[in-house]
Chain A
Amino acid sequence: MQDNNKINNRDAQLLAGIARQSHDDFAEFVSQYMLSIMNFVHRFFSSKSQAEDIAQDVFLKVWQNAKHWKHNEAGSARAWLYRIAYNRCIDLLRQNKPQTDDTDNLSTDITPEKILLNDSKHKQLSAAIASLPERQRTALSLCTFQGLSNKDAAKTLAISVDALESLLSRARRQLRKKLTLETENEMNGGRVINE
C-alpha cells in the first residue's frame, strides 16, 4: 500500500515535471511504463508493429497534455496514462479494423520460457481472453495484468467501481466457463483418439 502511494507520488512528480517540459522526467516516465503500455495495447491489436506505433503515440500525447492532468479529476498518473492508451485504441478500432501481421506470430527467439508459456492451456486462455467483450477484456487487463487498483481502473474506463466489478466478475465467469468447456472437449477428444 505504501509502495503504491510512493509510486503514485513519484508518477505525479514526473507528470508535473513533464508539464514543465522536463526531458529527464519524460525519459523516466517512458522507460517505466513503455512495456506495460505496449502489452496493454497489444490486447487490442494483434499486430506488434501497430501496438508499438500506438504506444509511442500514447507517450507523445502524454508529453503534449501533461499540463492538463489533474489528480482529482483523472485519478492517479497511471490511470490517466492508461486512459489515454485506452481511448487511442478505441478510436483506432472504430476508425479501422486492426491489422494482423503474419510475421508477428513467427517466433524468432524460442526460449524454454516461451515454450512453457506457449503450452496449450496458455493458448486456450489467450484465445478465451481475446474472445471476451472489449470492456470486460479491458477491465480484466487493467486489474489483473497491469495491476491497477479498482478505483484507477474504473477511472480509466470512466465508469463506477460497481460497474467495474460487474465487468470483472462477468469476465472471470466467462473465462472459467470457456476453459472448463475446452478442457472437457480436450478430454473427450483424447478418449476418441485413444479408442
Chain B
Amino acid sequence: MNKQRVLELLDTYGADPLAWPAEERMAATELLEQSDELKAAQHTAQELDVYLNLEAQHSAFSQQQADLLSQRTIRAVNSAYKDKLSILARLSKYMTLPRYALAFSALLSIFFVMNLMNLPQNHVQYSQSEFDDWMLTQLTGDALNEDNQTSLDFIDLVELENDTDS
C-alpha cells in the first residue's frame, strides 16, 4: 500500500473506507491517518459522496410500486406453471386409451418374440463333398432316375428271358 494507491481508492470508491475493497481497507486507512495530503484528498472525495449518497437514497419507484410488480411477476410465473401442469394433466387424460393399446401391443410383441424363439432350428452342417453330391443330384437327379428306371427295366427283361429259357 502506498499514497498513490490510497489516492486511487479515493478517486475510485469515494471517501468512505467501507466502500473500499476489504483486503486493502486496513492498510489504506492507516496510511490515510498519517498523511495530511491524503486527508485533504479524502475531504474532496467526500463532497461528491454527499451528492452520490443522496442520489443512492433517491428511488424512482416506491416500495409499493415494487411490491405490486413483484406480485404481478409471481402471478405470471404461477399461472404459466399451472398451465404447463394442466397441459400435462390433459395429456395424461387422453393418454388413457393409448396406455391400454400400448400394454396390449407390448403383450403381443412378447408373445411374438417367444414364438420366434421356439421355431425349429434346421441348421444342419454339410461337408463340401456332401454339398457337391447334393448339387450333382439336384442337377442330374432326373437323368439318374431315368437311367435307374432303364436299368431296372433291363434287369426285369433279362430275368424274364432266363425264366423263359428254363
Q: Which of B5-49 contact A (CB under 8 A)?
A: 8, 11-14, 19, 21-22, 44-45, 47-48
Residues of A within 8 A of B55 (CB): 122, 125-126, 129, 144-145
A34 is an interface residue with CB less than 8 A from chain B: yes
Give the B interface residue count (CB, 8 A): 35
Write out, one digit per residue, whether chain B residues 62-100 have a CB within 8 A of any chain A CB (1) or not (0).
010111011011101110010000000000000000000
Interface string of A129-146 (1 = CB under 8 A from B): 100000000001001110
- Whether A31 pairs with B77 at a CB distance below 8 angstroms is no
Given A31-B67, A150-B21, the answer on whether A165 and B51 have CB atoms closer than 8 Å is: no
The A69-118 residues at the B interface (CB cut-off 8 A) are 117
Contact assessment for B11 and A169 in the assembled complex, using a CB-CB cutoff below 8 Å: yes
B-side contacts of A27, CB under 8 Å: 70, 74
In the complex, the chain A residue whose C-beta lies closest to that of B20 is A150
Say whether, besides A26-B77, A52-B69, A38 and B48 are in contact (CB < 8 Å).
no
Partner of A60, one of B22, B45, B66, B77: B77
Contact across chains for B66 and A38 when beta carbons are under 8 A apart: yes
B61 interface hit (Cβ, 8 Å) = yes
Give a binary string over A172-191; 1 marks a CB under 8 Å from any B CB, 0 the rest: 11011001000000000000
User: What's the least CB distance linking B88 to chain A, in Å?
Assistant: 13
Q: How many residues of A contact B (CB 8 A)?
A: 40
User: Does A30 make an interface contact (CB < 8 A)?
Assistant: yes
Known: A35-B63, A179-B48. A60 touches B73 (CB 8 A): yes
Given contacts A23-B81, A39-B61, A34 and B11 within 8 Å (CB-CB): no
Q: How far, in Å, is A25 (CB) from chain B's closest CB?
A: 11
Nearest Cβ on chain B to A96's Cβ, whole angstroms:
21
From B11, B13, B45, B48, give the contact of A143 (CB < 8 A): B13
Query: Chain A residues near B47 (CB, 8 Å)?
Result: 176
**How close is B91's CB to chain A, nearest CB, in angstroms?**
19
**Which residue of B has the minimal Cβ distance to A151?**
B21
Of all chain B residues, which has the CB nearest A46? B60
Contacts of B61 in A (CB 8 A): 35, 38-39, 42, 48, 51-52
Residues from chain B with Cβ under 8 Å of A175 in the complex: 48, 52
Q: Which residue of A lies closest to B21 (CB)?
A: A150
Q: Which 5 A-B pairs have CB atoms at the shortest separation, nearest pair first?
A: A35-B66, A169-B11, A169-B12, A34-B66, A34-B70
- Interface on A for B, CB 8 Å cutoff? 1, 21, 23, 26-27, 30-31, 34-35, 38-39, 42, 48, 51-52, 55-56, 59-60, 63, 117, 121-122, 125-126, 129, 140, 143-145, 149-150, 165, 168-169, 172-173, 175-176, 179
**Given A23-B74, A122-B54, A122-B58, 7 other A-B residues pairs in contact with their CB atoms under 8 A:** A30-B70, A30-B73, A39-B60, A117-B58, A125-B55, A144-B55, A169-B8
List 8 A-B residue pairs with CB atoms under 8 Å apart, sorted by A's residue number.
A48-B61, A60-B77, A117-B58, A122-B54, A125-B51, A145-B55, A145-B56, A168-B12
